[in-house]
Amino acid sequence: MQENLYLRSALAEEEVVVFAWKNPGRGGDSMESISRRQFLGVLGAGMTLAAVRPLPAFAEEAMAVKPSVSIFDVNCGCGVWPFRPTFPADAPSLESLLRAEGITRACAYPLEAYLWPDPQEANELRLPQLARSSFFVPSAVLNPTLPAWKKGYLRCREQWNVPLVRLMPNYHLYDLAHTGVGALAEQVASDGVVLGVHVRAEDKRMQNPIAKVPPVPIDEVVALARRHPGLQVVAFGFGRLWDKCELVPPAMVNQLQLRAELEKRPDLPDNLWIELSFFEHESSFANALKLFPAERLLFGSHAPLFYPRANVAKIQYSEAPEEAKRAAFKANAEKLLGVKA
């Protein structure tokens, strides 16, 4: 049995869609996968697929620099991003990309869920493929303002045993005080499922002008965690310290010299976890440790929208203690999701 994969490129001014064939197999071993470099080469050679060979050369190069610890990536998307090329689109290729950076387990979600009117259709498209590989921990995206959200939730639990449900309130146009969010929060808390909130997916300054989506205010995520103390809440994509939020003292905003003096905020709810893919300052991970408890920080690559190497390096080369790095790279995610990296 074969299935289509499609790869998209904006190599030239007009978008090109190329079809390749693959044979599904365990972990992508039998897949005729192509690296991006090959793909571009193929296009340059007149878009023939005759030159396709199974060699992820970039992956081999990257292996040489991967960190010695194993890494659990809690934030990667599988699928097609509509606004620009983001390779790869399918689960086996995404796995190859992440493994090349030393990532040994990844909690992935369907990328199409950001914009499709019913994210359950995106779950149905991508979660079966993700569930086929032991590398991935499938996670679902839901819109709890839709009348049938609970059917989708139950199906994702029964079919793919998702330990994490993600919300994208800024893309689905609701706020976290919506009654549907409260109902979902109670349901997942009683099931021991984690609830994630995607604060942002892109830099708001460079979004497509026809689709400007502001970030979710982090204090709304904090309030959600406070309203549901029995629920574990993850903020995906919390970014800059000067984002308007209650986590940062006003005097801290944009004041470099104060970063050295920043201490943990004692009033953060214990059930709030912070994913670090967008968190960036002059010494990102060390600053995150000053803001948040070490046992609440989570590595996320935000692949394929970001180069996964960037976020690995952010923690790997940090001045922070090795123990905190290991926790953020793996142990915290294992504890949160109840699965091993």
Residues that bind another protein in the complex, under the rule CB under 8 A: 10-11, 35-37, 40, 58, 61-62, 65, 84-87, 101, 203-209, 212, 256-257, 260, 278, 280-284, 303-314, 316-319
Task: Return the number of the residue (147 or 205) whose C-beta is nearest another protein.
Answer: 205
Task: Return the number of the residue (185 or 216) whose C-beta is nearest another protein.
Answer: 216
d(Cα 183, Cα 181) in Å, to the nearest integer? 5
Long-range CB contact pairs, 306-310, < 8 A, 24+ = 306/277, 308/73, 308/76, 308/97, 308/98, 308/101, 308/103, 309/62, 309/101
> What SS3 state is found at 324?
helix
Could you tell me the smallest distance in angstroms from the CB atom of residue 209 to another protein? Answer: 5
d(Cα 111, Cα 131) in Å, to the nearest integer? 15
Residue 335 DSSP class: H
Could you tell me the smallest distance in angstroms from the CB atom of residue 98 to another protein? Answer: 11
Task: Return the number of the residue (10 or 154) whose C-beta is nearest another protein.
Answer: 10
Tell me the two tokens of residue 70.
Answer: 């194993």
Could you tell me the smallest distance in angstroms from the CB atom of residue 313 to another protein? Answer: 4
Task: Return the number of the residue (87 or 160) whose C-beta is nearest another protein.
Answer: 87
Task: Return the number of the residue (15 or 186) whose C-beta is nearest another protein.
Answer: 15
Strands 297-298 and 272-275: parallel
Tell me the two tokens of residue 233.
Answer: 């809440």
d(Cα 177, Cα 200) in Å, to the nearest integer? 18
Which residues make beta-bridge pairs with 71? 103
Task: Return the number of the residue (10 or 183) whose C-beta is nearest another protein.
Answer: 10
Could you tell me the smallest distance in angstroms from the CB atom of residue 224 to another protein? Answer: 25
Could you tell me the smallest distance in angstroms from the CB atom of residue 21 to another protein? Answer: 22
Could you tell me the smallest distance in angstroms from the CB atom of residue 326 to another protein? Answer: 17
d(Cα 339, Cα 321) in Å, to the nearest integer? 24
Q: Are 85 and 56 in contact (CB under 8 A)?
A: no
